[in-house]
Amino acid sequence: MSETSERMRDAFEAVAIDDEGRACRDIPEAVCREEPRNFFVHVGSLALTKSSDGLIDPKLVLSWLLTELATPVFFVGLLVPVREAGALLPQMFTAGTIRRLPVRKWVWAIGSLVQGLAAATLAASALTLEGAAAGWAIIIALAVLAIARSACSVSYKDVLGKTVSKSTRGTATGLAGSLAASVTIIYALILISGLVPRMSLVVGGLLVAAAFWLIAATIFSTLREEPGATQGDENALRTAIRDLRYLSSDAQLRRFIIVRALLTTTALAPPFMIAAASKAGEGGFGGLGYLVLASAGAGLVSAYVWGRLADTSSRKVLLIASVLSMAVLLLTVLSSVAGWLSAPAILPVLLFAIMISYQGVRLGRSTHLTDMATAETRAAYTALSNTIIGVVLFAGGLFSIIAEAFGVPLVLAVMAAMCAAAIPFALALDEVQAG
């Protein structure tokens, strides 16, 4: 074993192996010997791509960018639906083909490469276009990025399962997430400092994100992946249609999907909140860094608390998130009408609160679905739920039309009403952890 390999194994054991030691029993022996190297390939690649996600964040960075480029609010409202639905819905059509490939790291690597090129296109569009032209260019580039991300999502979990043992997978993804959060916070602090003109820093962030994705693609291509099984390639769309029968037979599943659908507003709202602040005279304000910091901080301070509460009652997490998001959106409407959003501190505080709700929805829905379903129905429930929510997110683009025709405050008021409508459905959910 070379000196470099020995150092890598020592680092791997220090980071990922507990005092008792853990053998990689669920991956082949040949792969087990490469696990330290594979572990750090996963950490490096994921940290880079997660950092890129923070640097281009459609909810915040791209929303701010579009307002600065004087694009119609129609385009601002499309950002999250295009990003989220674009990353989810294509999986129904590509999953079967990807599962037929014995080696799938190349799907992830090519997907990361395409995301890098799309991010570079975002930067070029910001530098050369404005108005509706910039809006169309950025939305199209974001759609390409989202579709590439969907291919990465389909392939990644399987590649992770084949190259890193079960006992260290969570450590790999968790460490990558922590590193990426640090990058996002540093980026936010640089934005806050005012040392670099804000537009230059945002465009520079997009270019750094592009470089990160390209580097991640190169790193991930070096992963030592053995050819794997190619079964289980059933068409996901056909499976989702077949599983629609569960909607009629399981009332709890229906209520859960309704709650989840209504609370997609926590993901859709931030761009409209930024647009409302822009209308109030805050389009060029110095608060973008505070918004990014508020978003990252909300995840750091609330994820653990939401997770602990979800283990006790995921129903209560969804209920609390419904009430909190309703209150935040109503306050945003009031602040917009009263002109309070012109105060620099108001929007970051409101955004911090809505992102806490968003984290609660994410953790609550994931835990509730896992604990509600049985081993036999969990995969079907997950696929059916994701398919329906993908359609709902795509339909969320209608909010852009409403905002353009009737104004942003009306959109935020409708979103607040949707959160209020989620409350009785959340109350009707079973306490699935009690069983």
Residue 72 sits at the vertex; the CA angle it makes with 69 and 75, to the nearest 5 degrees, is 90
Indicate the pTM of the whole model. Answer: 0.82
In CATH terms, are 11-227 and 235-435 the same topology? Answer: yes
Q: How many CA atoms lie within 13 A of 296 on its CB side?
A: 26
The pLDDT score that the predictor gives to residue 94 is 75
Q: Greatest CA separation found in the chain?
A: 69
Pick the closest to residue 292 from 13, 32, 64 (CA basis). 64
The pLDDT score that the predictor gives to residue 285 is 43
What is the DSSP code (8-state) at residue 34? T
Are 9 and 36 within 8 A, CB to CB?
yes
Pick the closest to residue 297 from 342, 365, 351 (CA basis). 351
Pick the closest to residue 122 from 177, 79, 183 (CA basis). 79
The DSSP line for 105-167 is: HHHHHHHHHHHHHHHHHHHHHHHH--HHHHHHHHHHHHHHHHHHHHHHHHHHHHHHHHHS-HH
The pLDDT score that the predictor gives to residue 283 is 45
**Dihedral sign from CA coordinates of 268, 273, 274, 276:** positive
What is the DSSP code (8-state) at residue 47? H
Q: What tokens appear for 200 in the block?
A: 């230059």
Say how far residue 16 (Cα) sits from the centre of its chain: 25
The pLDDT score that the predictor gives to residue 196 is 86
Q: How far apart are alpha carbons 197 and 201 in whole angstroms? A: 6
Looking at domain 235-435, which of 1.10.1760, 1.10.1740, 1.20.1250, 3.40.50 is its CATH number?
1.20.1250
Question: Per residue of the chain (435 residues), what is the pLDDT tens digit?
Answer: 555 555 655 555 555 555 444 555 555 565 566 677 788 888 899 899 999 999 999 988 999 999 899 999 899 999 999 998 888 888 777 777 777 777 788 999 999 999 999 999 999 999 999 999 999 999 999 999 999 998 888 787 777 777 777 666 667 777 787 788 889 999 999 988 888 888 999 999 999 999 999 999 999 998 877 776 555 556 666 776 777 888 888 899 999 999 999 999 999 999 999 888 877 665 444 478 888 888 888 877 787 788 788 888 889 999 999 999 999 999 999 999 998 888 878 888 999 999 999 988 988 888 888 788 876 777 678 778 888 888 999 899 999 999 999 999 999 999 999 999 999 999 999 998 776
Are 315 and 371 within 8 A, CB to CB?
no
Render the burial of 307-340: b for 16+ CB within 10 Å, e for the rest.
bebbeebbbbbbbbbbebbbbbbbbbbebbeeeb
- Give the amino acid at 320: I
Domains of the chain: which residue ranges?
Answer: 11-227, 235-435
- Give the amino acid at 119: A
The pLDDT score that the predictor gives to residue 421 is 97
**Which H/E stretch holds residue 262?**
helix 251-262
Are 280 and 339 within 8 A, CB to CB?
yes
Q: What tokens appear for 432 in the block?
A: 């699935």
The pair phi, psi for residue 4, each rounded to 5°, is: -65, -45
Q: How many CA atoms lie within 13 A of 96 on its CB side?
A: 9
Q: What tokens appear for 101 in the block?
A: 């490939």
Pick the closest to residue 138 from 66, 214, 54 (CA basis). 66
Q: How far apart are alpha carbons 299 and 306 in whole angstroms? A: 10
Are 254 and 424 within 8 A, CB to CB?
no
Are 302 and 356 within 8 A, CB to CB?
yes
Looking at domain 11-227, which of 1.20.1250.20, 2.40.10.10, 2.40.128.640, 3.40.920.10 is its CATH number?
1.20.1250.20
- Give the amino acid at 103: V
Are 74 and 135 within 8 A, CB to CB?
yes
Q: How far apart are alpha carbons 430 and 368 in whole angstroms? A: 9
